[in-house]
Structure formats: C-alpha cells, structure tokens
Amino acid sequence: MADIAFLLLIFFLTTTEIVEEKGLLVKLPPWEDNRTEILHPPKRNVFSVLVNDNDELLVRGERIDLADLRARTKTFITNPEQLSTLPQNPRRAIISLKNDRGTSYATYLGVYNELQAAYNELWDEAAQERFGVPYSEELPIEQRRAIRSDIPLVLSEAEPTDITID
Amino acid sequence: MSKFKKKRGKAMPTISTASLPDIIFMLLFFFMVVTVLRQSELQLKVVTPEATELTKLDDKQLVNYIYIGKPTPKYVDIYGTAPQIQLNDKISKINEIPFFLLDHKKDIPEKKHGLITTSLRVDGEITMGIVTDVKTELRKAGQLRVNYSAKTRQRDL
C-alpha cells in the first residue's frame, strides 16, 4: 500500500511545479489608432520619471536612486509644505513614466513597484485616519472608492524612447 | 524479594508501519492540492524580478501566461540567444498573440471575459523593447488586465 502511495507521490512531485502566482496587477490603457491630442497639464502637477538604457533614474530633472523614489513620490503627491512647485492636492497629481527600449525589465518593474507602493502607503494612511483600519480588500467598496477618488492613481506611460535609432 | 520484574528483552519493539500509507497519502493529497500540473515545458530562462506590492492571482482558469526570456542552453541552437516569447508550449512570434488570447478565451464563459488576466512572466534581465511590443499587442487585442509576475522581496532596497 505504502509503495503505491509513494509511487504516486513521486509521480506528482516530478510532474508538477509550485508556481508563485503573484505579481503586480496593472491595467493597460486601451489602444487608440488615431492619436488623441496631447494634453499638457501644468508642470507642477506632473511627476516625471525617466529611466534610461543604463537603468538610471531621472525624476523631475534630477538623478536619484531607486531607494529614494518611494519617499519622493509620496512627498510629491501629498505636498506637505504646500509648495507652489508641487500639486495643490493629490487629485491633480499625475505620474508620468517613460523608459527606454534598452531599460532592463527588473528596473522597470522596480520603478513601477515603488510608484505603486507610494500610493498603497498613502491609501493605507488615509484608511487608518478615516476608518481606523488598514486599506485592504476587506474594506467596504464605498470606503475604498472614497479613498481612491481623493488620492487617485494616475499613471501615464509614454512610448519608450529608442536609443538605437537616434 | 522485589515486586518489580525485570524487563525481559532489551530489544526495541518494532514500529508499526500500518499507518505509513495514511501518512504518505496525506502527503500526496497535500501536493496534489498545492501544485498545478505543468502545462508546458519552459524553453526559456525566466527568473522574475522581485517586488513588494504583489497581488495574488486567484482563478487560474482565467489566467493565460506569456513568457519572455532568452532560450535555455538546450534551445540556443534552434532559436539563438535573442529574447523570445513563449505561448503555451512553443516559442512564438508576437503576431501570434491575438490568436493565443482568443484560443484561451473560447473555453471561458462570456460573463467572465472581463476578468481574464494575462500573466507576463518576464526574465529580469530582458530589456523593455520586446516587453513593450508585447504590451502593445495586448492593448490592440483588448486584453488590458495584466499581471507582471514577480517574487516577494524580503530585503530593503
């Protein structure tokens, strides 16, 4: 009996794999054949993140490390000191992400992850403040909507540059 | 005149193996539940990057997988060393993606079509060029729910 069970067990061990079914869930923008006109939002509302083919980051014209990106993004969105160079309120903030075709996928995902993390942390703080619970799937949908309409994630990805063409 | 008898044999009593099948079966069922049958042999080297803001993919029926990576040494002779796309069990061209999506869609009830997620399992060392091309193809095909597959990152940046 045990032999048969062992045989089955070993068969399953070899033919299966444990896949990590985890990842960053994103919603791509729909494809439009004719380009809509390009909007130019006020400069203070735009948080531009450029990644070049050497995996270096240029955030609002300044070179920074990936480790600082999360804090930078949060300061930009909340504008704690009400500076005139940052958006008036989080609703106006726009994240603009642009990479090169030569950027490594790991860096791209790292940057995306940090931007998402900044928003997740802000949503969490807002949920703690208003409802006393962390932001999660368990939170009623209306409450989640309320938070997300106050701090909406607006991330626009530009067509990547191609250094091999220039 | 002690009342306590000395124990006779010094030998250990043998452990009963009657419960062994039960234990092994338990293990077997555990593995059957937590694993997925390998659908296809991976012909590419895919080591997904690490991230922290991860969501779990629930319904595996509603997920299709696109692998992007460099061919493994075994397949370098056939496909070369440039990054390739694998759909199901074979290396494919980008223009085969719409058909691949339709093929997956046809087995799913129509009301669940909006929940279909494409899991992009991309090697961390791949450059964004090919990934962008795949994303464009997905957008053109109307498949907008995408999951960038990643591992959990434990350490700080």
Q: How do the domains of chain B map onto residue ranges?
A: 44-152
A34 contact B CB<8A: no
Q: How confident is the model at residue A73 (pLDDT cuts 50, 70, 90)?
A: very high
Question: Taking 90 as the threshold, does the pLDDT of residue A7 lie above it?
Answer: no
Number of domains making up chain A = 1
Query: Cα(B46)–Cα(B35) distance, rounded to whole angstroms?
Result: 19
**B123, A23: Cβ pair inside 8 Å?**
no
Is A72 part of a structural domain of the chain? yes
* Mean pLDDT along residues A64-74: 92
pLDDT at B58: 79
Please name the member of B20, B53, B123 whose beta carbon is closest to the beta carbon of A24. B53
Q: Which residue of A has its CA nearest to B52?
A: A113
pLDDT tens-digit map of B112-153: 898 999 999 999 999 999 999 999 999 999 999 999 999 888
Other CB atoms within 10 A of residue A75 CB: 15
CA dihedral B102, B104, B106, B107 (to 10 degrees): 180
pLDDT for position A166: 47
CA A50 to mean position of chain CA atoms = 14
Using an 8 Å Cβ cutoff, are B66 and B119 in contact? yes
CATH architecture of B44-152: 2-Layer Sandwich (3.30)
CB contact under 8 A, B146 and A117: no
Higher pLDDT, B117 or B7: B117
Mean pLDDT of chain B: 86
Instruction: Quote the minimal CA–CA distance from B78 to chain A in Å.
Output: 24
């368990």: which residue's tokens?
A138
pLDDT in tens, A87-146: 888 888 889 999 998 999 999 999 999 999 999 999 999 999 888 888 888 888 888 888
Q: Please give the residue that has the higher pLDDT: either A56 or B42.
A: A56
Q: Is A165 on the interface with B (CB under 8 A)?
A: no
Per-residue pLDDT tens digits for A133-142? 888 888 888 8
pLDDT 10s digits, B84-108:
999 877 889 999 999 999 999 998 9
Stretch among A16-30, A59-73, B99-113 having the lowest mean pLDDT: A16-30
What residue numbers bound the domain in which A98 lies?
52-160
Q: What is the pLDDT of residues B34-56, one digit of tens each?
A: 766 656 678 889 898 999 988 88
